[in-house]
Amino acid sequence: MDYDELRHTLLSKAKAEPDNRNHVFYYVTLEGREHKVTKLSHAASGQVDPDLLSKIARQMWLTNKELRAFVDCELSRDGWLALGRSRGRL
């Protein structure tokens, strides 16, 4: 998975709002409450390191396989949020 795919998914599918600082933080607002989803470096490009990808998956309340499914549009935003709720993260 590359950074462009991940950024596109965070913005378009997760509907996360970027907060541009030294890194780009992505937030999702649900029921009036803001949840930090993850952060990426401004300079990041190319393929995402597998260790970092695992960390991002955990921050998004997902397994690596579920994150891949989310990016590949096999897991919907509602499905992602349902997983977060079932895991006590939302």
How is 23-68 classified by DSSP, letter by letter? EEEEEEEETTEEEEEEEEETT--SBPPHHHHHHHHHHTT--HHHHH
Residue 22 pLDDT = 67
Q: Residue 1's Cα: distance from chain center in Å? A: 13
- Cβ contact 48:64 at 8 Å: no
90: helix, strand or coil: coil
Residue 62 pLDDT = 95
Residue 73 pLDDT = 93
Q: What is the pLDDT along the chain (90 residues), one digit of tens a residue?
A: 888 899 889 889 888 888 776 678 888 888 888 888 888 887 778 888 999 999 999 999 999 999 999 999 999 999 999 999 999 887
Model's pTM, two decimal places? 0.76
